[in-house]
C-alpha cells in the first residue's frame, strides 16, 4: 500500500500553548500522527488527562509531587512514568519515537534537544531558546549524528517554506516580520509604568507568558534573528527585521536576482506546527483561509531601536559570539520572570540584559553544554543581584 506508517511523536511541553496545539493537529490526523511521549513541568492533572486520551508509551513530569500523582493514577496501565531532565533525555531517544516536538520554554529545552539529535531524531523546534543559547553546539550535533531540525516558530517556518526548491547560493537576505507587539505606538515616556497584564496582552497571537513578554519588548524578534542565523546559516548582516502589524506575512526571503518570496496566512500557530509535522507533504486541513478583499492592506515599518533596545542587544550578542547569546538568553529569562513577579520595571529588562552581556560574555567557538550551563547560571545570578541592588 502507498499509505505511510504514522509518524510517532514525543511532545515536550505538551501542556503549554504549542504543546496543546500540537495535540490539536494529532486529533486532525489520527492516521498520520501518533503520540508516544507527553511531558510537562508540573501540571499533572492536565498531563494525566492527555495521557488518558492519547495513550502514549511514556509520560515525563518535572515536579516530584506531580510524579507521585501520575505514578499512582497510571498504575496498572502500560504507560511508563519518568521524572525530570533525565526522563526527558531518555524518552526522546526511544526507538519508537520518530519526531520530537520541542515545545518547552527556555534553556531547559537545550539538553533534551541535544539528546534527540544525538539519537538521530527529527526535531520540530518551537523552543527557540535552544538555538539562541546553544546554536553552535546544536549545529555540531546535527553534523555528527545526522538528525534533522524543522522550524515551528512561524517566521522560521515561513522562511523554510520560501526556501523549498531553492539553493543556499540563491539567498540574499531573510526578512523576519514582527507585529511590534502591544506597545508599538504607546508613548515611550510611559514605558516605565507598563504592567505585566498590559505586556501579557498581545494584539495578534495567544501564547505562553514568557514569549508574550518577549514579544512586547521585541526581545522575541532578537532571539528569532539568532535562531534564524543558526537554522539557515546566514550572517546577521543578511537577516533583517521588519515591523508588520497585521502578522499576515510571516516572513520573507529576497533572492540574488532581486525576487522576494513571502509566506502568508492567518496568525494561527497550528499552521506552522502542522507543516513541521507534515513536511515535505502538505495535508488538507480546515484551518481558516485569508479573506483577501476584507484584508485590504498590509503595512510595514522599520523597528525603532530606542523603543525596543532588546533587538539591537540580540544583534550585539550574535556579533560577540561565544557564550554571549547564552548570557543574553539567560539574563532575559530571569529578567522576564522578575518583571512578571512585579519585582522590576518593564524597562529594566533591557537594562539588566545589557549589563549581563557586557560583563559575562566569553569567547568560545563551540561552547560545550557544561560551558553554556555555567554561563546560563551565572547570568541568572548576576541579574538577581543587580535587581536586588536596584530594589534597595
Ligand atoms: P508555555 O509556557 O505555554 O508552555 C511550556 C510547556 O513547557 C509547558 O508544557 C510546561 O509544562 C513545559 N515546561 C516549561 N518549563 C519547563 C521545564 N523547565 N522543564 C520541563 N518542562 C517545562 O510556552 P509556549 O508558548 O508553548 O512556548 C514554548 C516554546 O515555543 C517557547 O520557546 C516559545 O518561545 C516558542 N514559541 C511559542 C509560540 C506560541 O505561539 N506559543 C510561538 C512561537 C514560538
Ligand atoms: Mg515567532
Give the model confidence (pLDDT) of 316-340 as tens digits: 999 999 999 999 999 999 999 999 9
Both 88 and 157 in one domain: the answer is no
Task: Of 188, 212, 214, give the one whose Cα is nearest residue 328.
Answer: 214
| Domain end (from 275, 303, 331) | 303
Distance CA 276, CA 270 (A): 10
What are the CA-CA distances from residue 295 to residues 154, 162, 250 (Å)?
20, 22, 15
Spell out, as residue ranges, where the chain has pLDDT lower than 50. 1, 391-392
Both 161 and 297 in one domain: the answer is yes
Both 159 and 147 in one domain: the answer is no
Task: Of 95, 244, 267, give the one whose Cα is nearest residue 177.
Answer: 244
Structure confidence by residue, pLDDT tens digits, 328-371: 999 999 999 999 999 999 999 999 999 999 999 999 999 999 99
DSSP code of 260? E
Both 174 and 246 in one domain: the answer is yes
User: HSE (CB half, 13 Å, CA atoms) of 9?
Assistant: 32
Both 94 and 113 in one domain: the answer is yes
Q: Identify the nearest ligand to the CA of 224 by its number.
A: 2
Is residue 194 a part of any domain in this protein? no
Domain of residue 88 covers 7-151
Both 20 and 147 in one domain: the answer is yes
Is residue 366 a part of any domain in this protein? no
Is residue 241 classed as helix, strand or coil in its secondary structure?
Answer: strand
Both 141 and 223 in one domain: the answer is no
CATH code: domain of residue 113? 3.40.50.720
Q: Tell how far the Cα of 153 is from the centroid of ligand 2, in angstroms.
A: 5
| Domain end (from 303, 321, 339) | 303
Is residue 31 a part of any domain in this protein? yes
Distance CA 87, CA 110 (A): 14
Q: Given this model, what pLDDT does residue 92 score?
A: 98
For 252, phi and psi rounded to 5 degrees?
Answer: -145, 160
Structure confidence by residue, pLDDT tens digits, 155-186: 999 999 999 999 999 999 999 999 999 999 99
Both 22 and 110 in one domain: the answer is yes
Q: Domain count for the chain, please give it.
A: 2
Is residue 313 a part of any domain in this protein? no
What are the pocket residues of ligand 1 if the criterion is a CB atom closer than 6 Å to any ligand atom? 13-19, 40-41, 43, 62, 103-105, 108, 126-129, 153, 205, 207-208, 211, 269
Both 61 and 173 in one domain: the answer is no
Is residue 189 a part of any domain in this protein? no
Name the grid cell of 256.
Answer: 540574488
206 is in an annotated binding site: no
- Model ipTM? 0.99
Is residue 197 a part of any domain in this protein? no
**Which residues, by Cβ under 5 Å, contact ligand 2, an ion?**
153-155
| Residues 6+ positions from 104 with CB-CB distance below 8 Å | 12, 13, 16, 39, 41, 112, 127
Both 139 and 230 in one domain: the answer is no
Both 133 and 60 in one domain: the answer is yes
Q: Tell how far the Cα of 376 is from the centroid of ligand 2, in angstroms.
A: 22
pTM to 2 decimal places: 0.98
Q: Identify the nearest ligand to the CA of 225 by its number.
A: 2
| Domain end (from 151, 170, 197) | 151
Is residue 65 a part of any domain in this protein? yes
Q: Given this model, what pLDDT does residue 3 score?
A: 74
Both 282 and 163 in one domain: the answer is yes
Is residue 121 a part of any domain in this protein? yes
Amino acid at each position: 500500500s502507498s499509505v505511510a506508517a504514522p509518524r510517532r511523536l514525543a511532545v515536550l511541553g505538551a501542556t503549554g500553548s504549542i504543546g496543546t496545539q500540537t495535540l490539536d493537529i494529532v486529533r486532525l490526523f489520527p492516521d498520520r500522527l501518533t503520540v508516544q511521549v507527553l511531558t510537562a513541568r508540573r501540571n499533572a492533572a492536565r498531563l494525566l488527562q492527555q495521557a488518558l486520551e492519547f495513550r502514549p508509551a511514556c509520560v515525563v513530569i518535572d515536579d516530584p509531587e506531580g510524579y507521585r500523582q501520575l505514578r499512582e493514577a497510571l498504575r496498572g496501565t502500560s504507560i511508563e512514568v519518568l521524572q525530570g531532565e533525565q526522563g526527558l533525555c531518555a524518552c526522546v531517544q526511544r526507538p519508537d519515537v520518530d519526531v520530537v516536538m520541542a515545545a518547552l520554554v527556555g534553556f531547559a529545552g537545550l539538553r533534551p534537544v541535544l539528546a534527540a539529535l544525538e539519537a538521530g531524531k527529527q526535531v520540530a523546534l518551537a523552543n527557540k531558546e535552544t538555538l539562541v543559547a546553544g546554536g553552535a553546539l546544536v549545529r555540531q550535533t546535527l553534523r555528527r549524528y545526522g538528525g534533522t531540525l524543522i522550524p515551528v516558530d512561524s517566521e522560521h517556518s515561513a522562511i523554510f517554506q520560501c526556501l523549498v526548491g531553492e539553493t543556499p547560493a540563491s539567498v540574499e537576505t531573510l526578512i523576519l516580520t514582527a507585529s511590534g507587539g502591544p506597545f508599538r505606538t504607546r508613548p515611550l515616556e510611559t514605558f516605565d509604568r507598563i504592567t505585566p497584564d498590559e505586556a501579557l496582552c498581545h494584539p495578534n497571537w495567544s501564547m505562553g507568558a514568557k514569549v508574550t513578554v518577549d514579544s512586547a519588548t521585541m526581545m522575541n524578534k532578537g532571539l528569532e534573528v539568532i535562531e534564524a542565523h543558526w537554522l539557515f546559516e546566514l550572517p546577521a548582516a543578511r537577516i533583517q527585521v521588519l515591523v508588520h502589524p497585521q502578522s499576515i506575512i510571516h516572513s520573507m526571503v529576497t533572492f540574488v536576482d532581486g525576487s522576494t518570496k513571502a509566506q502568508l496566512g492567518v496568525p494561527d500557530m497550528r499552521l506552522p506546527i502542522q507543516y513541521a509535522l507534515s513536511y515535505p507533504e502538505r495535508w488538507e486541513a480546515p484551518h481558516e483561509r485569508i479573506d483577501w478583499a476584507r484584508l485590504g492592506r498590509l503595512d510595514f515599518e522599520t523597528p525603532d531601536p530606542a523603543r525596543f533596545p532588546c533587538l539591537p542587544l540580540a544583534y550585539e550578542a550574535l556579533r560577540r559570539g561565544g557564550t554571549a547569546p547564552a548570557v543574553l538568553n539567560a539574563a532575559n529569562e530571569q529578567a522576564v520572570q522578575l518583571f512578571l513577579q512585579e519585582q522590576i520595571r518593564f524597562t529594566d529588562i533591557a537594562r539588566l540584559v545589557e549589563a549581563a552581556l557586557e560583563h559575562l560574555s566569553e569567547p568560545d567557538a563551540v561552547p560545550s553544554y557544561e560551558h553554556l550551563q555555567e554561563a546560563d547560571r551565572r547570568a541568572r545570578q548576576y541579574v538577581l543581584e543587580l535587581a536586588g541592588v536596584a530594589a534597595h
